[in-house]
Amino acid sequence: MSSSGSTGLPPATGAWQAGDPPGRRQWFRPETVLRLESGRELPGVEIAYETWGKLNADGSNAVLVEHALTGDSHAAGDVQPGHPSPGWWDGLIGPGKALDTDELFVVVPNVLGGCQGSTGPASLAEDGKHWGSRFPQLTVRDQVAAEIALADHLGIERWAAVLGGSMGGMRALEWAVMRPERVRRLMVLASPAASSADQIAWASPQIHAILADPNWKGGDYHEGGPGEGPHLGLGVARRIAHATYRSAEELNERFGRRPQGEDDPRFAVESYLDHHADKLVRRFDAASYVLLTRSMNGHDVGRDRGGIRQALSRVTARTVAVGVDSDRLYPAEQVRELADGIATARYAEITSPYGHDSFLIETEQVATLVKELLGE
């Protein structure tokens, strides 16, 4: 069982918490200390991950799926008594599905710095106390470095495919740049080669909302136990973020100017954002949210590699970069530019009213693209 302790949250409804049955989760603990891009060292790393299917004899059927900001290793569902637990890419992973687990060995790690089993600010450090503010800032490359150690541990020399959306797309792309020889195919969904000023700007009020919450306590709130975190700040952050994850057209069409109810003074769209905020604070740690958001802000494949073009020229994987026509956070044009920079890439576009979240919602379109890529 992981040494990850309380995430400082109210009781979770859907996500794994210390004390819950681990389900199909497994933990990998590298024997060596992880040396970070910053020069700092991170000891006691644990990576939680889940797998579906079986690795074949020559190790050629392994697929890595990288989750987005608030996702986790539970990409495909399973049902345990008392713990029915759907996965966030259920429609894509399973027997006979686009990622056919009768044929493929699908691996989904929880990102390093996250709060769903892998080591992060809410985990216990070697002194038995929560890392809290002492947890070092990570880069996307640090997160991939931990996953490279996991791949070594699992005996996977080369992934048949690495796929990810949004923050997961950043890790997928870094894999293909850092270890081109280990990535045969690559799918990057709704994700850029480098975070833009606009994306960093939207992240800024989210981070400040959490830091301004008196329960943030400089990042050292975890000792208070569940219920003591900066939930108000995290909820505000989620409201801002969730609005950027959907398109203006969808929100206007779906909610209009409708009030939530006769006795409820909120607009329906406000109630909708409140609901998503409430759900997130019950399943996610605010310090992980801040850390991962900063990792995304720092994402730039061109850093210390002679620029983006130079970095992308390293990629040898058969690549599809997928934009969403209604994505206002990671605009399709930015994803097209990414595809243009990779000699072995093509660009594809999801047509949807749902904005950035379409990579989680438009299962049929994503499935078609996945099948095409795996057939190449």
Ligand X SMILES: CC(=O)SCCNC(=O)CCNC(=O)[C@H](O)C(C)(C)COP(=O)(O)OP(=O)(O)OC[C@H]1O[C@@H](n2cnc3c(N)ncnc32)[C@H](O)[C@@H]1OP(=O)(O)O
Q: What residues act catalytically?
A: 166, 327, 356
Which lies closer to ligand HSE via its Cβ, residue 160 or residue 234?
234
Give the shortest CB-89-to-ligand HSE separation in angstroms: 12
Torsion of CA 226, 227, 233, 239, to 10 degrees: 90
Which lies closer to ligand HSE via its Cβ, residue 258 or residue 275?
275
Q: Report the sign of the C-alpha dihedral through residues 149, 154, 160, 165, in that order.
A: negative
Rounded-to-integer distance, Cα 324 and Cα 359, Å: 8
Question: Would you count residue 105 as binding ligand X (CB under 6 A)?
Answer: no
Question: Would you count residue 285 as binding ligand X (CB under 6 A)?
Answer: no
Binding residue (CB under 6 A) for ligand HSE from 53, 71, 109, 298: 71
Enter the tokens of residue 353: 């009213």
Which lies closer to ligand HSE via its Cβ, residue 146 or residue 292?
292
| Distances from the Cα of 257 to the Cα of 170, 206, 245, 252, 261, angstroms | 36, 25, 20, 8, 12
Question: Would you count residue 49 as binding ligand X (CB under 6 A)?
Answer: no
Question: Would you count residue 361 as binding ligand X (CB under 6 A)?
Answer: yes
Q: What residue numbers does the annotated binding site for substrate cover?
A: 238, 357
Which lies closer to ligand HSE via its Cβ, residue 179 or residue 246?
246
Question: Would you count residue 365 as binding ligand HSE (CB under 6 A)?
Answer: no
* Residues between 144 and 183 that touch ligand HSE (CB under 6 A): 166-167
Residue 44 buriedness (CB in 10 A; 0-12 / 13-18 / 19+): middle
Enter the tokens of residue 16: 């794994």
* Residues between 113 and 172 that touch ligand X (CB under 6 A): none
Give the shortest CB-283-to-ligand X separation in angstroms: 5
Question: Would you count residue 70 as binding ligand HSE (CB under 6 A)?
Answer: yes
Question: Would you count residue 323 as binding ligand HSE (CB under 6 A)?
Answer: no
Rounded-to-integer distance, Cα 176 and Cα 158, Å: 11
Question: Would you count residue 36 as binding ligand HSE (CB under 6 A)?
Answer: no
Residues 6+ apart with CB under 8 A from 249: 326, 353
Question: Would you count residue 357 as binding ligand HSE (CB under 6 A)?
Answer: yes
DSSP-derived letter for residue 331 is -
* Residues between 297 and 356 that touch ligand X (CB under 6 A): none
Question: Would you count residue 46 as binding ligand HSE (CB under 6 A)?
Answer: no
| Distances from the Cα of 216 to the Cα of 248, 259, 348, angstroms | 31, 33, 41
- One-character DSSP codes across 11-77: PPSSS--TTS--TT-EEE--SSPEEPTTS-EE-S--EEEEEES---TTS--EEEEE--TT--S--S-
Beta pairing partners, 159: 183
Question: Would you count residue 352 as binding ligand HSE (CB under 6 A)?
Answer: no
Give the shortest CB-13-to-ligand X separation in angstroms: 8
3-class state of residue 93 by DSSP: strand
Q: Which residues bind ligand HSE (CB under 6 A)?
A: 68-71, 166-167, 245, 357
Q: Which residues bind ligand X (CB under 6 A)?
A: 14-15, 67-68, 70-72, 86, 88, 260, 268, 271-272, 275, 279, 283, 357, 360-361
